[in-house]
Amino acid sequence: MNPTLPARVSLFLATGALAVAQTAPAPSAPPAKDDPIKLEAFTVTGSNIKRIDMERTLPVTTVRAEQLEIFDPGQPSDLLAALPMAAGLPGNEAALATQNARGDNANISFRGLSSGNTLILLNGRRIAPHPITWNEQGVPALSVNVNQLPNRGIERVDVLRDGASSIYGADAVAGVVNYVMHRRFRGTELSLRAGTTEYGDGTDYRASLTHGRDFANKKGRLIFTADWYGREGTFLRDRPFAADGDQVARAPAPWNVYTDTSFNKRTTTSAYGQFSAVAVTGRDQYGAFLVANQRPAGIPTNFFTATGGFFLVPTTGSGQRGLATAAPPRAASGPGKEYYWNLNDARSLQPQSKRANVFLGGELDLSPRVTAFADFNYYRARSLVLRDPDIYQSSVNGPLVIPTNNPYNPFGERFWHPTGAPNADGTPRLTGTPTAVNVVNHRFADFGSREDTVTNHAYRVLLGARGKFAGTWTWETAAVHAEGRANEYEPIQRTSLTQAAALLTDPARALNGFGRTYAVQNGALVDTGPFVHAAAVKQSTYGVFERDGMTRFRSLDFNASGEVASLWGGNKLSLALGGEVRREDFSDVRAPFAGLNPAGSGLNPTRSDVVSASSVPDTFADREAISAYAEILLPLVGREFKLPLVHSFELSAAARSEHYSDFGNTVSPKFGLTWKPAAWIMVRASHSQGFRPPSLPALYRGSFIATALNSQDTYRSAVTQLLTDQGLNRINRVAGNPDLQPEKSKGISSGIVIDVPGVRGLSLTVDYYEIRHREIMGSSGTINDDRDALVAATQAALAAGQSIASIDLGSGTSRYQGDGAVVRLPLTQEDRASFAAYNATRAPSAQRAAVGAIDFLRTTYFNKAEQFVNGFDFGLNYRFRPLPVGNVTFETSWTKLNTFYIHTRRNAPRTELKETNLAGTSGASPEWRGNAQLNWRRDRWSAGLGMFYTGSFTLAGVTTSLATYESLGRPSYIKPVFTNGNTVYRMVHRDTQTYNVFVSYRVDRSDARSWLRDTSIRVGVNNLFDAEPPLSDDNNTYETALYNTMAKGRLYSVTVTRKF
C-alpha cells in the first residue's frame, strides 16, 4: 500500500530533523566587525535589469552542483523531466515511427502545455530547435532538443516558472530554462563515469574534460568542456512489465478480459495474415492493380468467406498453420495469443547512442569598461533505433497481388487446376480454378527487425561584447548563428518493388507473401512449414527511407540598462532597452520515393512508395522577426526610505513589440510588483501576456496523406471483435493551414517568500500560477473523441425514448454525429447484426448504436478557442547550521495542479485535462508532482538522498460504463470524470515515487599519494527500490513521456573525478 503524500514529505522532514537532533549546536559566536561588503548587482533569468536581490523577486528555481549530484542525470532530459513543473517529454527516445523525431531527441513540457511554450536558453540566448518534427496536440512541433545542452561545466540551471515573452519573445509562455556555464573555473578536471542497470543492460560510459584558465595577463578568461557519452541499447523484451504487449492479466476488471483490447497491444498485423481471393480488373494510370474480391469457382467454399476473404492461422499442437475464414479470438494462450504479433519483442526502450558535446567560452577585457566574449557549442549524436519487422496493409499501400503463377500462392496454378491435372513435373494438383490473392494484412517476419540510424548535429557560435558607460549603465550586444541538422536512414520495403517481386515465377527470386510453403498430399492442401526468403529476394524489395532535416537560427541583439533618475530615500529608477533581429529557416527533405514519388518514375506522384510511411512532401520555410523591448523598475520604498509594514515596495513593467514576416505584429507586456512588509518576508506578483507563433512546418507543409499507426476503433472494436476494427494502420488525410494564427496567453503569478524568523537558513516559498491561452493551435479530434461523441449521442437518444435499434447516428453521411475527424462507411447488415448481438446482453447505459467501419481519418490544423491552467508551486529550503556530524541541507519542491481544461471550439463544453494523459497535455497532468533532496557533507565525505514523486491521473483511452462502475462497487481505480458535457468513467493510473542515493569521497590535494591527489570517487544508485512504471494503455505498456527513465530499472554508477 502506497503512503500518502503528506507521509512522504514527513519522511524527509523527519530525516532532516534527525540530523539536527543528533547533536545540538553550540551557541554561535558573535559576528566579527568586518568592513562593510559591497554586493555587486547582477541579472538573472527573466529580467534585463541588474539588482542585488533580483534572484528572489522572480519565481526562479535554481539547480546547483550539489543538487545535480542527487539528480545524477545521464543526460539533460533526465534532469528537466524530474522538475515538479514538468509534465513529461512529449518528444522522447522511445519514438519509433518514420513520422516522428527518433534517436537522441527529448523535448520538455512545462505546466502540461506543448513543448513549444517552454523556452530553452544557453547562457541567456536561444539555440536552434531540433530539425525533425513530431506531433503535439496533433500539430507538427519544432522545439529544442534538450539533450544537445552541455552536461558538464555547468554553473547552474535556472528555471523561470513564469511567462517571459515580454523579455525573450515567443515561446516563453510556460517558463524558461537557462543553462548557465561556468566562467570562473580554473584548472583542469577529468571525470570518468560508468553505469549499468539491475538487468545488466543499458550500460553507459561518460568521459568528460573541463579546463579553465586566465590569459592575457588575467584580462581574459577561458573555459573548455568536452563530454563523450556512450550507451548500450535497452529493449522492452528485457523488462517483465513490458516484454509482452498483452497485459490483460495485470489489468483490473472490467478490462481484464480478452474481448477488451485496452491492455492488449499485440497487433493484428501479424506474421500469419489476412488475405482475399481477387479478380484483377486492370491497372490504374500509375500501374497499380485494380482488383475485385471474389470467391473462386470450384475451390471448396470452406476456405473462404462469402467475399473471398481468408486468414492464415496457427493451429493447436500441430506445428502447422491452417487456412481459415476468421482469425482466432484473442486469448491468454494458444492460437488466440500466437496469431497476434508482439511488437515489444523487437522494440527499443532506449536506443543505442553515442553523443559528443563540446563547449568553448571565453571573454577578454579590452579595457576596464569593455569586454568581448564568445561561445561555441557543438553537439553530435548517433543512435540506432530498432523496431518490428515490415508490414504490408492494402488499406494503406494499395493491393499487393500474388498472381496465380506465383509459386507460393496456395490457391495458384501450382496447386489447383480446373480439371485437377498434375503439374508438368508430376506433382499433384487439386480440382478448382486458380485465383490471384491480395495481401490484405501481413508482416514479413523473416525480413527481421528494422534498423534506423539517426545522426544529429547542432552547433552555436556567439560573438559579443559588453561594457559600462555613464556611471551605472551597462550594455551588451551579440550575434548568434545556430544550426541543427538530423539525418534518419533506414533500409525499408518499397511498395512497387514488393509487387514486382510477387509477380516473378522463379522460386528462387519470387516473393512469398504468406511466409509458408504448401503441397498437395493425399488429396488435400497441406502446410509444409515456414519459409525464409533469400537475402537477395529481401534486397530486391528494399529501398531507403532517408530524411534530412535542418533548422537555422540567426540573430543580432543589443540591450542597455542602468539608472535614469534618483528618487527619494536613495532609491533609483532603472530602465532597460533593447532590440533583436532574427531569422529562422527550416527544411525537411526526403529521399526519392520516401516522401513522394518523383515525377517521371511512373508512380503516383502524390504518394510515397515506402511501405506504411506517410506521403509527405519536402518542406522549405523561413521567417524573420524584428523586436524592440523595454523594462522599467520603480522602487517606491526601500534603502533609506521605509514605512511601517513596508520594508520595500517596487513596481516593474516590461513590453516587447515584435514584427513577424509571416503573420504581422504582436505586443507582449508584463507588470510586476514586490513588497517586503519586513526584511524576512517578500510578496511578489506579476501579470503578463505572451504569444507563440505557429511552427514553420505547420504553416507551410501543406496537405498530404499520412499513416495513422496501430489505430484502433475504440467504439466498434469491443462490439464486432473484427481485426479491421482493432489496431491497424489507417489513412489519415492531413490538410495544412497557412492561415494559422499565433497562440495568445495571459499569465498571472503571485507568491510569498519567507525567511523564517529565528530559524537561520530556513526559507519557504509559495507561488500561484495561472495561464489562460487563446487561439490554441490544435488539430481535429481523435478516435477517442469520436467514441465519446457517439456514446453521448446514443445515451441522449435513449433518454429521449428511442430504442437502441432505431437510433441513426448518420454513419457514412453528412449527418454523422461522431467527431468530424473520423469518416465512416455506411452501415451494412453485418454491422447491424453485430451491434444487435452486443446490445442484447448489456444494460441501456452500456449499449452502443450501430455505425459503420472507419473509412479514413481526417486531420486539419486550426486555432482552437481557449485553454486554462492554474495551480501552486511550493518550496522549502533549509541549510542547517554547521553540526558536529557535518553540514546538512534539505530542499523540497512541489507543484499542485488546481485546474486544467480546454474548449476545443467556441461555445463547446470544456474538456478536462487535469489528472489525465490526454495527448493535448504533452505527457500527463497529475494533481501533485514533487521532489526532495537531503545533502550531507563532512570533510572529504558527502552523501545525498533524493525522492521524486508523480501523482495519479486517469487514462483517457481506458473507459467503462456507469452500469459497470456501479456493478463493481465503485472501485477506487475507476474515476468518474465530467468532460465534454458528459461523465466518463476512466481507469486511474497510480502514483509513483523513486529514490536516488549517492556517497562520495574526495582525496585531499595535500595527500602524499600524488596519483590520487584531488580525486573524488562517487558511487550512486538511481531508482533505489527498482520501481516499475505503472500499467498504461500506451503501446509500450507504460507512459513513455513520463517513465522511460524509470523503465530502465535500478541503475548503479561509479564516477571518478580528478582535478589538476
Ranking 84-93, 430-439, 579-588, 944-953 by mean pLDDT, the lowest is: 84-93
Strand partners for 205: 194, 230
Q: Where in the chain is the domain with CATH 2.40.170.20?
A: 54-201+219-234+352-385+456-487+548-694+742-776+866-952+990-1059
The pLDDT of residue 346 is above 50: yes
Residue 244, burial from CB neighbour count under 10 angstroms (0-12, 13-18, 19+):
buried
CA distance 853 to 831: 8
Ranking 682-691, 905-914, 948-957 by mean pLDDT, the lowest is: 905-914
One-letter amino acid at 43 equals T
580 — pLDDT class (breaks 50, 70, 90): very high
**Ordered alpha helix ranges (H), 782-892:** 783-799, 829-839
The pLDDT of residue 34 is above 60: no
Between the CA atoms of 44, 478, 622 and 139, what dihedral angle is there, to the nearest 10 degrees? Answer: -10
The pLDDT of residue 6 is above 80: no
Residue 168 has a pLDDT of: 83
Strand pairing class (572-590; 619-637):
antiparallel
CA distance 671 to 649: 14
Pick the CATH number of 54-201+219-234+352-385+456-487+548-694+742-776+866-952+990-1059 from 3.40.190.10, 3.30.460.80, 2.40.170.20, 3.40.50.150: 2.40.170.20
Residue 170 has a pLDDT of: 72
pTM for the full model? 0.88
The pLDDT of residue 613 is above 80: yes
The pLDDT of residue 539 is above 90: yes
Q: What is the pLDDT of residues 207-237, one digit of tens each?
A: 999 999 999 999 999 999 999 999 999 999 9
One DSSP character per residue, 421-475 reads: PPPTTS---EES---EEEEEEEE-GGG--EEEEEEEEEEEEEEEEEEEETTTEEE
Q: What is the pLDDT of residues 54-66, one digit of tens each?
A: 557 889 899 887 7
DSSP 347: -
CA distance 246 to 242: 9
534 — pLDDT class (breaks 50, 70, 90): very high
Give the pLDDT mean for 548-553: 96
CA distance 143 to 553: 12
Residue 439 has a pLDDT of: 97
Give the pLDDT mean for 23-41: 39
DSSP 641: B
The pLDDT of residue 779 is above 70: yes
Place of cell 570518468: 192
Query: What number of CA atoms fall less than 13 Å from residue 873's CA on the CB side?
Result: 26
With contact defined as beta carbons under 8 Å apart, do 165 and 656 qualify? yes
CA distance 162 to 682: 17
Between the CA atoms of 844, 850, 855 and 861, what dihedral angle is there, to the nearest 10 degrees? Answer: -40
Residues making up the chain, counted from first to last: 1060
Name the nearest CA neighbour of 670 among 57, 168, 165: 165
Q: What is the pLDDT of residues 618-669, one digit of tens each?
A: 999 999 999 999 999 999 998 888 899 999 999 999 999 999 998 788 899 9
In this structure, what C-alpha cell is assigned to residue 493?
520495403
Q: What is the pLDDT of residues 426-484, one digit of tens each?
A: 999 999 999 999 999 999 999 999 999 999 999 999 999 999 998 899 999 999 999 99
With contact defined as beta carbons under 8 Å apart, do 846 and 961 qualify? yes
With contact defined as beta carbons under 8 Å apart, do 745 and 772 qualify? yes
Strands (E), 182-219: 187-197, 204-215
Q: Residue 380, Cβ neighbours under 10 Å: how many?
A: 17
Ranking 152-156, 374-378, 543-547, 889-893 by mean pLDDT, the lowest is: 152-156
Strands (E), 980-1050: 982-989, 992-1002, 1015-1022
Place of cell 473520423: 822
Q: What is the pLDDT of residues 910-939, one digit of tens each?
A: 989 999 987 555 678 999 999 999 999 999
CA distance 804 to 794: 8
Residue 698 has a pLDDT of: 84
Residue 113, burial from CB neighbour count under 10 angstroms (0-12, 13-18, 19+):
buried
Tell me if the bond preceding 254 is cis, omega within 30° of 0: yes
The pLDDT of residue 521 is above 60: yes
CA distance 268 to 611: 17
Number of H helices, E strands in the chain: 15, 53
Share of the chain above pLDDT 90, in %: 68
In this structure, what C-alpha cell is assigned to residue 594?
520516401
CA distance 244 to 361: 48
